[in-house]
Structure 1
Amino acid sequence: MKKGYRYGSAALIALVMSDGARAQTGAPVAPPEVPAGSVPDTAPVAPDAAPAAGAQEDAVADIVVTGIRQSLARAAEIKRQSVNVVDSIVAEDIGKLPDLTTASALQRVPGVQVVVGGNNEIVGARIRGLEDIVTTLNGREIFTGVGRGFSFQDLPAEALAGVDVYKSNSADRIEGGVAGGVNMRLRRALDFKELTLAGSARATYAKEAGSDDTINPAVSALIADRWTTGIGDVAAMLGLSYQRNEYARPIAWNDWTRSTNAAPTSTTPNLQAPTGFAAGTEFGHYERPQANVSLEWAPDTDTTLYVEGLFAGYRGNVLQARPTFRAFTGTSFTATAGDRCEDFGVGPDGYYAGNLRTPENPRGTGTVQNLCNATGYTVRGVEYYTATVANRARTDIFVAATGFNKTIGALTWNTDISYELSKNRNDSFRVDVGKRIAELIQERDVDHEVRAITPGNPMNDPAGLAFTNGMTEDINRSKGTLWAVMSDAKYDFDGVLDYVQAGVRVAKRVASFEQYLGGPPAPGGSFATPVAGAGLPSDLLISAPGVPQMNDGATYLQVDPDYLLDEGFKRQLRTLYRISPDRPGFDPTRDYDARERNYAGFLQARYALSLFGALSIDGLVGARLTRTDRRIVGAGRVIDPATSTSRVVVVDRTTSDTDLLPNASARVDFGGGLQSRFNYSQTLSRPSFSQLNPGLSYVVSYVNTIQNSGSGGNPDLRPQKADSFDASLEYYFGRSNYVSAVTFYRDITDRVVTGTEARTIDGLQYVISTPRNLGSATIKGVEVSGQLFLDFLPEGLDGIGVLGNFTVIDSEVTTPGDRLQGLSLLGVSKYNYNAGFVYEKYGVSARVIYTYRSQYYDADITNGLSLRPIDIPVGLNGIRAAGRLDFGLNYDLTDHITINVAGTNVTGQRTRSFESRPDFVREVRNDDTTYSARRTVQLLRWGAR
């Protein structure tokens, strides 16, 4: 073949992974290459009978599968061949979706649920409602900071060759995920056969971010080559990417509800109403630089040696402006009564009381009051303040690894040595300014349109503004490291016993965290020191982004957050607030150091046998033995009964746990594309270091509507465990079509949840958040998924495809006597689904997808201040059902240029929360809508070398 250059779309990464071939025939697509230190869980599939020569030629001539369809076909084949229950996304899928990050791409996977973060990005991932996920990168454990999990949004999608979501487990996989695991696959040098140059540039417009000319850029580049030399094949690859995003997310919410009988100036008693209204916008910008490198050497066909590395960074200026109105401080308060009246447990302060006074409990402090709901209120002469928060955040993740893969006859030996360093820092500074305003009119609507109006918008007038509440600094640093060595060997047999595999892993994890959180009250007390005349810059106050639910989006004044990022100005404020101007030191009650060593070994065997006709069965049987030794040192406060004062005491705890995790699976192939699989495995999730921290820390609130709060760890937490069962029936047909149904059941013990409890410390009451082992819970459900391309339609319409998945989950806390017994697990939606259309023809690749998640509860607020009826024994924070519509459109302008336009959340869906039941409206978060345009170019040099 003549040497030359070839151009194509950078989004079609499979193109370069298959030696530049854009076409696929009916042959199965090869599964992803498996990293060192592990073996594929994909079993060989018996090839179909070879077609006649003429038929084969016709297939090659007629069947051309590229782009989105190729990616979906590859994902289906990975699912089909895997012994485990696995769903995958391959590189073309991520590149062709309107998704910028791994987290946003994961929401398309059956059974995966996500949430929208403060900066309007998709964050987190829950597999079948559970967040306890072990995350690996090329088969190696990866984490962010001192946590167990990884922030998926911090790894740009451009860096990935694919993502595999494991919903069942096998002995060779690293333990640590009750819910399952996510393996992110980076591209590797030997994946490329020839010189490859690729690049892309994208511009994104975010609707909430501000002006029409705000464009968020993202660029990526990749270069790879492979050389055949006298010492074998040598390959190198370098990938780079960079994103910068400006964002804004407006929020409006009702404060805790309270009996109006406690409002000193109320003219409408016997109602339950929010004690205030608040709104605000989180805004700012963040950047994500990323680089990954791969060097591989194959001296012969049986040996590969490699060195690879990753850097993923995050730099963000996270700014907030939060106006808050204390409705019960007004000179007059008049509420509008609704038509629903119920009995509430009310304390002397008008807030929730669980300790009710009854004949059996004469010392109870609370009483039962019959209160009607307030649908809105008008308050005059009300206290108002705007909190300005400025946080400078930085995360750096470095991963380096080396190892080899060696085949000696029937023996395959893999060894991998890796190191990760993850550092995170946050410097947050808050100051509040406020005054009394003439009037606030608030509406509390059951349709979640929380709204408020302040006639004349006095928050935009600097006259009368003074410092209020306290100044708060939150300075924290975290650092985590991990050394790990993995080695395994697999010996192939020729018979019913297909292979036997054994391996070991030794890992050393170190984590440290330190923090200062606190600050002084306003100088002279709230509203005592005017902003004007305080000797601060004349341009200190600026206009904050408006919130649609407050004054119809009008701006208001806040302290310029850029000043709060400047250390010189912070010194001025500390002096004004009558404390040392120097940066405060870390608080020992918030610090901890952890050391953890993990030793694991596994043994498993794969069997495969033909029964009769086309019927065959294969599977795995094995077990993983793991031991963890841990030491964690923190500090807590204890009360001296002699003096009734608290003192700091260092707590040093050492714990160990040993677990045997068995697994067994079977896949039955009935022939003709029909198969079924059955999986059992025992899995575990270890508590995070922050949950294990033996320290206790707390903060005194300077705002009378905000409770004193604190948090403490629990060094006696046990790992969560689950017995997991999966069964599926799957049918694969045509060139890239399938339908699948999976049932699953998890029996969970020692699940960790964080609850609240009231504690009295130094005479003050605090609501302390503490993790605990819940006891037992179950989760079960069904996943149905499939995809179908309508090749039978007439020319032009035969490029249409439909795809979708639907998951129903039933979960329940089964711990006898627990306050959550009988309720569903926190964070679990009963239903979620994806439904979409794709079109691929004439150089066009298009996709429209709607993603839906039903209502769920995400927090236990039983001991919070907010009122709730006495017939609701447990207070929970709920999130209403929501769906998002996204689209992506690619068009090949030429053989070497592809353009893409995409949109996310184009219907403008919002996140809406409530307390205990939907008519107790809590919060509205305005999720952003984005539109982007991208151009990709790929240059391939190919030919004989």
Structure 2
Amino acid sequence: MNTPANGTVPARPFNLKMTVAALAAAGIVTPASVWAQDAQGAAEREQASAGPTVVVTGVRRAAQSAQAIKKNSDEVIDSIVAEEAGKFPDKNVAEILGRVSGVQIRREYGEAANVVIRGLTGFVTLLNGREVYTSRDRSLYLADIPTTMLQRVDVYKTQGAEMVEGGTAGVIDVRTARPFDFAGFNASMAGRVENRDKSKTNDPQVSGTISNRWKGDFGEFGALLGLSYQKGHYHDEVTWNSPPTAVLGAASPVTGPNDLGHVLYEGKRDRTAANWAFQWRPSKAFEMFAEGWSTRVDHDAQRQFFVANQGWGPNSQYTLMPGTNQVAAVTSTNANPFTLSSTQAPNDDSETHQGAIGARWKVNDDWTVTTELARTNSKWKQDFPILDLLASPPTVSGETYRNGGGYFTYPNYDMMNPANYRMHTFFDQWSNAHGASNDWRADATWNPGSDGLIREIGFGVRLAERNASYQHESNGQIAPPAGLPAVGSLSGFACTSFPMANDYGLASWVTPCAGYLHANMDKLRQLYGRAAGRQAADPYSLYTNQEDTSAIYGKTRFGFTVGAVPVEGTAGVRVVRTKLDVNGFSGEFVNGVQVPVPVNQKTSSTDAMPNLTLKAMITPQVIGRFNAGKAIQRPAFADFNPGTTYNNGGGGTVDPTANGGNPNLKPVEGTNYDVAGEWYFAPTGSLTATLFKHDFKNYVIRRNTFETVNGIRYLTERPRNVEGGELKGIELAYRQFYDWLPGWLGGFGLEANYTYMEGHLMDNGVKNPFVNMSRNAFNIVALYERGPWSGRLAYNYRSSYVDTYNYRGLGFDLIVDPIKTADASITYKINDKLGITLDVENLNDRTYHDYHGIASNPRDIRRYDRVVGLSMRWKM
């Protein structure tokens, strides 16, 4: 943007190309999809009320659109809008969400994942307003959606009656572009190469979108096609301590880990995605569309484990951490400690497809009707062989915390000699899942066009049928038979472990090659006394669930004045009937043998979810809000599985464990309240504060307890409902561009947000913490845009949180230390059609650290790749 010497900018109309669809969220009764003409009017009214404006582009335009969405919406919402069609500073949706107030993410295995809203995982994922998911899960794995397809992402903290039910934490709605969002022909391409420092790879990514619209004898047509391919290697390294246990024979109470170890993760993802859309408008009053989205992910990984037992015994010498009774270092001589090298080699394939057709008809000046039919299909499969090796070093020396993690060595013993290892337990594992759904909805709105008390009335219906199934292998753990060959005698079997970025003592060791395991499964089965081919499915893992939902809603928009203050609001209720048909197997022990018994259980429930919003326009720039509503969250399909799978362990590798479901689970109920004050002091300047409170009933938790079955004590994990819970907090957010600063300083801007939360769950009268809830979290993003240059420097912080409650049934929680992440990017626009971007993820080389209950009992220290990306983007 060229600015005159006096610093003023001539008033010109605001460029709406990318805000047309972005502002559709400002509507009141949101239909099944976004309709550009409604948004056009909302955007024009918004800009007209703001007075003289300027043509803005890039970062400013995205911030201005996101701010307008938040200001005009009836719900409490935060949005991130593309700087231009498909251009975001992140690679996938999960990474984008890390910058939204109240949202936290965790990055591992090469990308962002594990999204939580206000400390909660119970949210609904939508794609263009319709429900979408992955395989057996309730929600979509958000990393599977590349940002090159996106127009914007909306994070709803509250939910209107017209929105798809199923989340107590909120709704994440991912919006892709349609051809009518553009004035005419539009095309763009992007290429990227990213270097990862620990995996030492250079990976390509490429994407492109093309769309056009044209008029003919039968009206106006539009078509859009987008394609994306991403290849990504990663390397995560972990060093760990086992949970502390009492040291036998100590003169006073002393605790220390029985085991130390390393885990080296390496993997490669090939992710292909496509989206398409067609629109037809035969008249101004009628429009039809068809659109779809597909993604396929091939994820090949290997995890190299090393377990170093510390050989506690009469010959162990140890020292303590100062001021504690925790072991700091131990040396055990002539102990022959249990020493294990293992390769886990999961290969995953997943794909998800969704297609939808719909129509919108403006019957007359007062009535508008929309309808939509969608089909979703998703499947996932995994082959997961594991093979363990054992070694017998006479002496081990370990330290619980050195260079940030567990440190151990084997004096005078060669861990790189295959002759010092022997083959041990073999795990022949596989699993697969499938999900499919049909979803139809119809909505109608009546808008009399008056400024009376009742401004609009909307109502609608939604019918959905969803099926989910899952199974895994039976008897996948195979103990080592006599006569296994020497490790060094199998050609291509033994590999050297991956190099480590930090010094944790043992730098390398011998481990089975992942490629050998997959290429020689039948040979390994023969060596371990099994027939060729996969094992049969475990009947206790198998479930096939069908869930039918029918929902109706009614919603009205109203308005009135209190003194001189205009107040707008909505009131509505959504009623949903849910029928669940669960099929699986339970087990009975007959003469010590578990016998499968078929189970079919049918349940149904009806839930009414009222919602009320009030929005007071105290001044044209200052808004006060109140939102209250009820939401439900259905348990995961796997949680309903009536079967229990038992793993007897053995060989010193795995302790007896069990995993089961609960077909009697009830849906989680949440009653949510939000009170907000918002000051919009500039088109890209705002200061907002939101107080929130969530009250829960029937919250679902998974807990580990010990159960004795058939004389064996199993650490068993099952889901169950608890009686209640409460979560409350405050969100603060600030955004501004400092255009009034002189010269080049006027290019700076700042976005910052802070969230404070506290809460608990009540379980049998005892207060327990929420898993994944950080009390404090904030984002600070420094922005710059002037002339051809733009850039950002982002810092994200989340305080410590509970990862696992009652870890392994040992009576303490697994707690994660604060996580701090810094990212940066800089873009130079060579011309209006071509730009180049350099970005760095994990600028501060962050570490992840968790501990067993207290900081002097560490568990993991994890290190991740630093990623440097170079991108080029071209558009017509």
Do Structure 1 and Structure 2 share a fold, with TM-score over 0.5? yes
Determine whether 1:109 maps to 2:100: yes
5 Å-filtered alignment, 1:677-688, equals 677-688=625-636
Q: CA deviation at 1:268?
A: 7.5
What's the counterpart of residue 943 of structure 1? Answer: none
What's the counterpart of residue 622 of structure 1? Answer: 572
Asked if 2 retains the 8 angstrom alpha-carbon contact of 1:382 and 1:440, the reply is yes
C-alpha separation between the residues in 2 aligned to 1:99 and 1:831?
Answer: 24
5 Å-filtered alignment, 1:67-466, equals 67-92=58-83, 98-117=89-108, 119-210=109-200, 214-261=201-248, 270-328=253-311, 332-340=315-323, 372-380=325-333, 381-409=336-364, 410-445=366-401, 448-455=404-411, 458-466=414-422
5 Å-filtered alignment, 1:817-896, equals 817=765, 821-861=766-806, 864=809, 874-896=811-833
1:480-532, Cα deviation, whole Å (9 max, x unpaired): 0010101010000222211100000000001111111543544346xx74534
1:51-92, Cα deviation, whole Å (9 max, x unpaired): 9xxx98xx56xx342111110111010000000000001122
1:319-346, Cα deviation, whole Å (9 max, x unpaired): 11111112237794322233556xxxxx
Q: CA deviation at 1:745?
A: 0.4
Q: Helix, strand or coil for the counterpart of 2:165? A: coil
1:647-691, Cα deviation, whole Å (9 max, x unpaired): 221221111111000001100001230011100010010011100
What's the counterpart of residue 608 of structure 1? Answer: 559
Asked if 1 retains the 8 angstrom alpha-carbon contact of 2:759 and 2:770, the reply is yes
C-alpha separation between the residues in 1 aligned to 2:487 and 2:241?
Answer: 31
Distance 1:823-1:861 versus aligned 2 partners, 3 A rule:
closer
Give 2:328's aligned amino acid. Answer: T
Determine whether 1:788 maps to 2:736: yes
Determine whether 1:575 maps to 2:531: no
1:821-874, Cα deviation, whole Å (9 max, x unpaired): 23331211101110121010021111111001100002123553x5xxxxxxx4
Distance 1:553-1:674 versus aligned 2 partners, 3 A rule:
farther
1:11-54, Cα deviation, whole Å (9 max, x unpaired): xxxxxxx9987899xx9984459875268999969958979xxx
Distance 1:22-1:753 versus aligned 2 partners, 3 A rule:
closer
What's the counterpart of residue 491 of structure 1? Answer: 446
Determine whether 1:512 maps to 2:499: no
C-alpha separation between the residues in 2 aligned to 1:533 and 1:281?
Answer: 22
Q: CA deviation at 1:125?
A: 1.2
5 Å-filtered alignment, 1:535-550, equals 536=490, 538-548=491-501
Q: CA deviation at 1:422?
A: 0.5
C-alpha separation between the residues in 2 aligned to 1:451 and 1:711?
Answer: 32
Asked if 2 retains the 8 angstrom alpha-carbon contact of 1:501 and 1:605, the reply is yes
Determine whether 1:631 maps to 2:581: yes
Give 1:822's aligned amino acid. Answer: K
Q: Helix, strand or coil for the counterpart of 2:83? A: helix
C-alpha separation between the residues in 1 aligned to 2:256 and 2:419?
Answer: 30
Q: Helix, strand or coil for the counterpart of 2:635? A: coil
Q: Helix, strand or coil for the counterpart of 1:92? A: coil
Asked if 2 retains the 8 angstrom alpha-carbon contact of 1:619 and 1:665, the reply is yes
Give 1:443's aligned amino acid. Answer: E
C-alpha separation between the residues in 2 aligned to 1:39 and 1:541?
Answer: 56
Structure 1, unaligned stretches of length 5 or more?
1-17, 342-371, 867-873, 940-945
Q: CA deviation at 1:557?
A: 1.9
Q: CA deviation at 1:136?
A: 0.6
1:748-799, Cα deviation, whole Å (9 max, x unpaired): 0100000011111221110100001011000000000010111221111001
Give 2:786's aligned amino acid. Answer: K
Q: Helix, strand or coil for the counterpart of 1:648? A: strand
Distance 1:609-1:129 versus aligned 2 partners, 3 A rule:
same
C-alpha separation between the residues in 2 aligned to 1:551 and 1:86?
Answer: 45
C-alpha separation between the residues in 2 aligned to 1:296 and 1:617?
Answer: 37
5 Å-filtered alignment, 1:707-726, equals 707-726=655-674
Q: Helix, strand or coil for the counterpart of 1:565? A: helix
Distance 1:37-1:520 versus aligned 2 partners, 3 A rule:
closer
The structure 1 segments of at least 4 consecutive aligned residues displaced by more than 6 Å after TM superposition are 18-24, 39-43, 48-51, 266-269
Structure 2, unaligned stretches of length 5 or more?
1-12
Distance 1:457-1:133 versus aligned 2 partners, 3 A rule:
farther
660-669 or 276-285: bigger deviation: 276-285
C-alpha separation between the residues in 2 aligned to 1:862 and 1:301?
Answer: 61
C-alpha separation between the residues in 2 aligned to 1:823 and 1:712?
Answer: 22
Distance 1:246-1:224 versus aligned 2 partners, 3 A rule:
same
Distance 1:38-1:246 versus aligned 2 partners, 3 A rule:
closer
Q: CA deviation at 1:225?
A: 0.5
Q: Helix, strand or coil for the counterpart of 1:564? A: helix
Q: Helix, strand or coil for the counterpart of 2:405? A: coil
Distance 1:570-1:29 versus aligned 2 partners, 3 A rule:
closer
Give 1:84's aligned amino acid. Answer: E
Structure number with the bigger relative contact order (C-alpha 8 A, sep ≥ 6) is: 1
Asked if 1 retains the 8 angstrom alpha-carbon contact of 2:785 and 2:791, the reply is yes
Distance 1:153-1:317 versus aligned 2 partners, 3 A rule:
same
Q: Helix, strand or coil for the counterpart of 1:783? A: strand
C-alpha separation between the residues in 2 aligned to 1:89 and 1:645?
Answer: 56
Q: Pick from 852, 864, 872: which aligns with 1:927?
A: 864
Asked if 1 retains the 8 angstrom alpha-carbon contact of 2:18 and 2:181, the reply is no
Distance 1:23-1:481 versus aligned 2 partners, 3 A rule:
closer
Q: CA deviation at 1:309?
A: 0.8
Q: Helix, strand or coil for the counterpart of 1:290? A: strand
Q: Helix, strand or coil for the counterpart of 1:108? A: coil
1:853-909, Cα deviation, whole Å (9 max, x unpaired): 100002123553x5xxxxxxx411111111100111111012221000111111011
Give 1:837's aligned amino acid. Answer: A
What's the counterpart of residue 593 of structure 1? Answer: 544
C-alpha separation between the residues in 1 aligned to 2:851 and 2:474?
Answer: 29
Name the % identity.
26
Q: Pick from 627, 641, 646: which aligns with 1:698?
A: 646
C-alpha separation between the residues in 2 aligned to 1:772 and 1:603?
Answer: 33
1:363-389, Cα deviation, whole Å (9 max, x unpaired): xxxxxxxxx311121233333121111
Q: Helix, strand or coil for the counterpart of 1:193? A: coil
What's the counterpart of residue 12 of structure 1? Answer: none
What's the counterpart of residue 355 of structure 1? Answer: none
C-alpha separation between the residues in 2 aligned to 1:432 and 1:447?
Answer: 27
Determine whether 1:37 maps to 2:32: yes
C-alpha separation between the residues in 1 aligned to 2:874 and 2:687?
Answer: 35
Give 2:792's aligned amino acid. Answer: R
5 Å-filtered alignment, 1:768-779, equals 768-779=716-727
TM-score in terms of structure 1 length: 0.87
C-alpha separation between the residues in 2 aligned to 1:107 and 1:905?
Answer: 13
1:302-321, Cα deviation, whole Å (9 max, x unpaired): 11101111111111101111
Determine whether 1:501 maps to 2:481: no
C-alpha separation between the residues in 2 aligned to 1:442 and 1:509?
Answer: 52
Asked if 2 retains the 8 angstrom alpha-carbon contact of 1:246 and 1:283, the reply is yes
What's the counterpart of residue 5 of structure 1? Answer: none
Give 2:142's aligned amino acid. Answer: F
